[in-house]
């Protein structure tokens, strides 16, 4: 059977999916299954596909012992549970297993930095937090652009020096 996505390679990943009570099957080759990720062809949120999800962790370098013994204190999940189910146990798991989850998150989303809405309480937290050098530079660059547009070249020059200083300090 050929992969339904590329129509070239032999399909090796077969996914059964139930929509409106009717089972359907999808067939992908290994590379398409990986690149499509779990979001590929299914009901926008129903992503109960532990098999394909765990392929994100395929070449996991962590030893089995480490994956099973190290548990989240809040919910009791170990990393192995997450691999097997494709489901993260609780909010704390994201902190505890952050470095292990990060590669797969990047493979799913491309980027791993949230943009968009922030809940109010957290909004306050974020505003009170010290900005990173990168963010400071981005802000200054915006300001410099504005100064240039206003033909305030003196101010633009001052800002440019400030950016330079920040970059050197980094």
Contact positions toward Zn ion, by CB under 5 A?
A: 3, 5-6, 9, 29, 32, 72, 74-75, 77, 89-90, 92-93
Cβ closest to another protein, residue 53 vs residue 144: 53
Q: Using CB under 8 A, list all residues that contact another protein.
A: 4, 17-22, 24-26, 37-48, 53, 74-77, 85-91, 94-95, 101, 104-105, 108-122, 125-126, 129
Please measure the distance between the N-terminal and C-terminal CA atoms of the chain and give it in whole angstroms. Answer: 54
Q: Taking CB within 5 to 8 Å according to partner kind, which of another protein, Zn ion, none is near residue 29?
A: Zn ion
Q: Taking CB within 5 to 8 Å according to partner kind, which of another protein, Zn ion, none is near residue 32?
A: Zn ion
Mark residue 16 as left, alpha or beta (left: phi above 0; alpha: psi -120 to 50; beta: remaining).
beta
φ/ψ of 38, rounded to 5, equals -85, -20
Q: Taking CB within 5 to 8 Å according to partner kind, which of Zn ion, another protein, none is near residue 112?
A: another protein
**Residues shown for the chain:** 170
Beta bridge partner(s), residue 21:
none
Residue 58 CB-half CA count within 13 A: 11
């Amino acid at each position: 059977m050929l992969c339904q996505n590329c129509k070239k390679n032999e399909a090796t990943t077969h996914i059964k999916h139930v929509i409106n009570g009717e089972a359907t099957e999808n067939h992908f080759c290994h590379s398409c299954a990986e690149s499509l990720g779990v979001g590929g062809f299914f009901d926008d949120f129903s992503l109960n596909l532990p098999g394909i999800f765990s392929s994100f962790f395929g070449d996991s370098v962590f030893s089995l012992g480490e994956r099973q013994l190290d548990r989240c204190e809040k919910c009791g999940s170990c990393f192995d549970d997450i691999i097997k189910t494709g489901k993260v146990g609780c909010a704390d798991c994201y902190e505890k297993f952050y470095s292990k989850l990060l590669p797969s998150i990047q493979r799913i989303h491309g980027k791993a930095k949230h943009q968009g809405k922030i809940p109010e309480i957290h909004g306050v937290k974020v505003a009170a937090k010290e900005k990173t050098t990168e963010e400071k530079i981005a802000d200054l660059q915006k300001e410099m652009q504005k100064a240039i547009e206003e033909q305030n070249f003196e101010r633009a020059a001052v800002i440019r020096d400030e950016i330079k200083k920040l970059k050197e300090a980094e």
